[in-house]
């Protein structure tokens, strides 16, 4: 059954706050010095704030990106640096302390939540549990107050990509969704976060186009 976008707008169904039960999806990608969120350094982080237009179409609004100075005593695996291509010791690398970066990130997210009348942020990531683990660890490490993210719920584009396109690898899911993906830019937090955001929006919007939302 086809539905009228104008009717949806009047009923409030095209508001971001109504789409995900007052949760605001924020796409996060971290590039790290290993797999252990408690001991390994966060080297880069990117967050993509999403917005919804009057037709209920989800899209990218802004990206926050920072290189991070490893916290004192952080472990960095050589294999992780080889995988990401990041050199945390490069003399020209411009980076900020982990505490400063997360304080700024949390404020940006809280401001976006307020603007969209959302009560909580929910992390969107590719294999989202990995990114959420590092976000929570950094928040706890610096005893940051008012972490806007739900502590354990998340939206995982690996799972959504498997459902929508039969692909769980980010590059392959993007290809299936006709989203351009440059392998040479992969494993940059900004690039991966923005491609993950494009994939998430594509799937959410496709579900709407197919008549799956709003519920009838």
Catalytic center residues = 187
Name the one residue in this structure whose structure tokens are 């789409």. 19
| Residue 138: strand pairing partners | none
48-74 burial: b if 16+ Cβ within 10 Å, else e: bbbbbeeebebebeeebbbbbbbbeeb
Query: Under 8 Å CB-to-CB from 166, ≥6 apart: which residues?
Result: 176
Query: 168 forms bridges with which residues in the sheet?
Result: none
| The pair of three-digit structure tokens given for residue 50, joined into one six-digit string | 């999403």
Residue 216, burial from CB neighbour count under 10 angstroms (0-12, 13-18, 19+): exposed
């Amino acid at each position: 059954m086809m539905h009228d976008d104008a009717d949806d707008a009047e009923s409030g169904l095209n508001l971001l706050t109504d789409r995900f039960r007052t949760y605001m999806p924020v796409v996060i990608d971290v590039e790290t010095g290993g797999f252990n969120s408690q001991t390994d350094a966060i080297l880069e982080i990117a967050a993509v704030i999403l917005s919804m237009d009057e037709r209920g179409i989800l899209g990218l609004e802004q990206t926050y990106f920072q290189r991070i100075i490893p916290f004192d005593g952080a472990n960095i695996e050589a294999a992780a640096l080889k995988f990401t291509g990041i050199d945390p010791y490069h003399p020209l690398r411009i980076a900020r302390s982990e505490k400063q970066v997360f304080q700024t990130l949390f404020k940006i997210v809280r401001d976006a939540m307020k603007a969209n009348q959302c009560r909580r942020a929910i992390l969107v990531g590719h294999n989202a549990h990995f990114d959420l683990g590092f976000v929570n660890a950094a928040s706890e490490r610096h005893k940051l107050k008012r972490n806007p993210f739900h502590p354990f719920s998340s939206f995982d584009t690996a799972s959504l990509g498997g459902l929508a396109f039969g692909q769980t690898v980010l590059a392959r899911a993007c290809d299936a969704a006709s989203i351009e993906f440059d392998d040479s830019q992969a494993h940059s937090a900004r690039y991966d976060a923005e491609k993950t955001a494009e994939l998430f929006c594509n799937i959410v919007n496709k579900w709407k186009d197919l008549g799956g939302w709003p519920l009838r």
